[in-house]
Structure 1
């Protein structure tokens, strides 16, 4: 793969549009708000913006229930505003990646409305319909990821339809050629408008067992603790071999247009993640690697993870790393404020394409949402298990003013009680802030071939600290990270050359301070 591929050299920044910037004062972020913040993102030093769904939707799952794959929900704006975002982003040297949601649509999508009209509908087999079991119940034991059966009975036609998420999100039938082509045309619709690629939602779920066999029991399931969906192993509803054909076909569509990217959402073990690069790398350009999200936060675990991932990559496969997203607790909440700085240095100095989640650059934490204010259907369906995603979806803080510069109205989710200290305006004025660290790292990465495309090698690891090098030609950079809250001896001899950046702001030689990351140019 040539070095000129922007998605190899660049950094992706995820925007959850409801929570990024509200231009019309209704308390919900919109495309005009995002458009106004494009110069901020360009100055921060990112290269591409991944926009979570902004398509027309009843918002049962806040946009992941799509009722039109070729439009924009009025809540966010319209197609002309989306065109303006794309044009302005390109003028600033930024790329635009859209979320594509192929596993399911909204039950209000015209396709599904027609599908449920009659068993004889031409659209019937665009979705997954089955007769009841002999006892009249669901066809099998498949469960929804949001709790309860994955099957809902339709009185009008006397069959059940499948939904691996909400009952308002019926699953599409990717075995049907006409459905496939309609979805591919939806991708082309956006690619023709200048979109630079797609992040594909739950890519590993798109194909289901053709025989609709029961899933086996999960022996590790903990009743009352785990999500009900984990009661069974997803043997027949996830990561089927036929999925690779769909991925290859999506990639072929993307490759009809120059310099585009296909990214797949995959919550899978390492050996299965790398399989999604496909034969001869004709699968996803970047099968999302979420391993840092669930890994134990210590030097030996992270060092081993880097080595195992690099060793598992197919020849020519380009790595990627993610610390968080709209579905998982924020990194600062998981590891604390000091270690969030170490995490930033790790993410932006490893080999591969990093993806940032909006607000991580100011150290945003999860915000506790009182039960009466919960919006996430996951939490509503399975309360008190800590599964809700509202805490990590709260609005971006731009200023310390009321509304945090996000809105002049009432924000759709509460902002939290630390807005005065955690906001862009305040932190941009502080050279010791995590925002200043992120910006320094982003621009250092952009200026350094070793950091953007160079090789990686673990140099040393201890119970406290990890050291690795990035090398391209005669440029060599060494990164040392202390994963503990006490001083740590470097796990290698002090690198030759000079230290150029520390998570503390000021630069010292010798042992690492508590939760310090340090970069050497040697």
Structure 2
């Protein structure tokens, strides 16, 4: 038995028999001792038997031993149980940390005090260093230019419908309202309507500014048009030129101009209360000089608004002046917000260098928010007739990229021609309409021109350089022109033209503000200059009567 084992003897309960005794076999009597009278022969025989038994193998005894348990085993089964009692291990001591008094005592040691001060100094030095670095970055970074103050008429092109009867099949103001969706696709920001008031030719007495001519529609249709246009973010400008159907003028004779101006003042208040966003007037050069006080009142009513409809309104003047000196002088003296003139000339034989100089002079003398550009108009005709049908896309690109507000006549987006009248019927084409031969080709050309106009107008509405960027003349000759539009750190745009009907142009453009290469954004002939193609500006080639707008990033 090992030291870890202990014999425990189980005692029988009172009244029970001892299990060892109960299981033990009955004790047999021991054999009788040999008889004393036995003979010597018998003793010898017994000794021989004992020797024979000792010579036998002891297998039989082993079997018996295996079958019969030993006395110790029998006793263990009947009363003894071995139990293992493990040795007791010493209890481990766990560290539970320092208490408050111990922590305070350790924290107050000189080593920890110096460590805390060192970490605090490092933290504040790092924080001050980061603050100084941020301030230095802000001071050294280039400042963005403040955006100029603009009005709604600086945000996109103006679209003039001189006679609403020829703009739609409805032949009235309701037809204009029905086609506002098409104008919205052109990114038009202002719609110039009319004149539509009652004005018998050369009859100042019968002039009625506040009454709409029956062949144009009625007041309810006009109100509905204004409301629908405003929902599409299109402002409405009403042309109130007095004698628009006669030949006398401007504004009739010297005797009647005062009376007409007085009546116009009250009419302006009436139309402002109908929700219009501006007024267009022709003949401003003479009226502003003949009746200056009345002209000042007219300006105040339009530009300051009314009590019911306060806010800035557009006063759009129209003049037949073509010299940049005259246009610049009238723009300053009349006080109009925009002045539509003939400064860009007309016809396909206009000298490109003179046109560039006119633009440069007006740009240098006036804010571009007061400049406007047009080719044609209500009295001059459509752009395709004034500038030539082959230059429709070229002139669209010119008007939409010059600094200022472009003014288009209805149908200029498709190249509509006058055909013997200044008011041809508008053509509304659809890809679903089936045509054959020449008619199909003509329709495809009109749709292509309209898509070009839409793409260009959309580009202008998104790019700051085209909206109000600086104008930099790069190159000009009698038949070619190139200029830059740049704004602060925005993308730059280079616009190049070749007005020659017969010869190609090769422009060698270089300078500090120009890179070596630029990408084509739009071109009047996409097969010659594909979109996104990279072009070497030192050898920019344009075919006859072609133009393109290219872009390159700001390089610092």
Going from structure 1 to structure 2, the CA distance change for 1:10 and 1:252 (only over 3 Å counts) comes to same
Going from structure 1 to structure 2, the CA distance change for 1:322 and 1:316 (only over 3 Å counts) comes to closer
Conservation of the 8 A alpha-carbon contact between 1:262 and 1:284: yes
CA distance in 2, matches of 1:478, 1:439: 19
Conservation of the 8 A alpha-carbon contact between 1:53 and 1:64: no
Aligned pair 1:284/2:339, yes or no? Answer: no
SS at match of 1:53: coil
Which residue does the alignment assign to 2:297? 249
Aligned pair 1:75/2:215, yes or no? Answer: yes
Unaligned runs of 5+ in 2: 1-146, 306-310
Going from structure 1 to structure 2, the CA distance change for 1:518 and 1:66 (only over 3 Å counts) comes to farther
Aligned pair 1:482/2:498, yes or no? Answer: yes
Which residue does the alignment assign to 2:460? 445
Q: Quick one: which of 164, 167, 173 aligns to 2:256?
A: 173
The TM-score normalised by the length of structure 1 is 0.66
1:191 shift after superposition: 1.0
Q: Quick one: which of 522, 543, 552 aligns to 1:501?
A: 522
Aligned pair 1:303/2:356, yes or no? Answer: yes
Conservation of the 8 A alpha-carbon contact between 1:427 and 1:436: no
Going from structure 1 to structure 2, the CA distance change for 1:317 and 1:441 (only over 3 Å counts) comes to closer
Q: Quick one: which of 191, 196, 200 aligns to 1:54?
A: 196
Unaligned runs of 5+ in 1: 24-28, 107-144, 147-162, 208-240, 369-389, 405-416
1:309 shift after superposition: 2.4
Q: Quick one: which of 507, 514, 520 aligns to 2:544?
A: 514
Q: Deviations over 1:219-276 (max 9, x none)?
A: xxxxxxxxxxxxxxxxxxxxxx445544432221112321310011111243232233
Going from structure 1 to structure 2, the CA distance change for 1:2 and 1:246 (only over 3 Å counts) comes to farther
Conservation of the 8 A alpha-carbon contact between 2:192 and 2:239: yes
- Root mean square deviation of aligned Cα: 3.2
CA distance in 1, matches of 2:205, 2:445: 36
Q: Quick one: which of 161, 164, 170 aligns to 2:249?
A: 164
Q: Quick one: which of 1, 20, 29 aligns to 2:167?
A: 20
Which residue does the alignment assign to 1:214? none
Which residue does the alignment assign to 2:240? 100
CA distance in 2, matches of 1:101, 1:463: 37
Q: Deviations over 1:163-188 (max 9, x none)?
A: 4379xx66763445xx5443211011
Conservation of the 8 A alpha-carbon contact between 2:470 and 2:486: yes
Conservation of the 8 A alpha-carbon contact between 2:197 and 2:211: yes
Q: Quick one: which of 484, 502, 512 aligns to 1:469?
A: 484
Which residue does the alignment assign to 2:270? 189
Going from structure 1 to structure 2, the CA distance change for 1:187 and 1:73 (only over 3 Å counts) comes to same
CA distance in 2, matches of 1:278, 1:418: 49
Q: Deviations over 1:323-348 (max 9, x none)?
A: 11121143323443332211111111
SS at match of 1:360: coil
Size of the alignment, in residue pairs?
380
Which residue does the alignment assign to 1:39? 181
SS at match of 2:210: coil
* Structure with the larger RCO, 1 or 2 (CA within 8 Å, 6+ apart): 1
SS at match of 2:304: coil
Q: Deviations over 1:176-213 (max 9, x none)?
A: 5xx54432110111111110101102222337xxxxxx
Q: Quick one: which of 315, 320, 325 aligns to 1:271?
A: 325
CA distance in 1, matches of 2:472, 2:406: 17
Going from structure 1 to structure 2, the CA distance change for 1:200 and 1:400 (only over 3 Å counts) comes to same
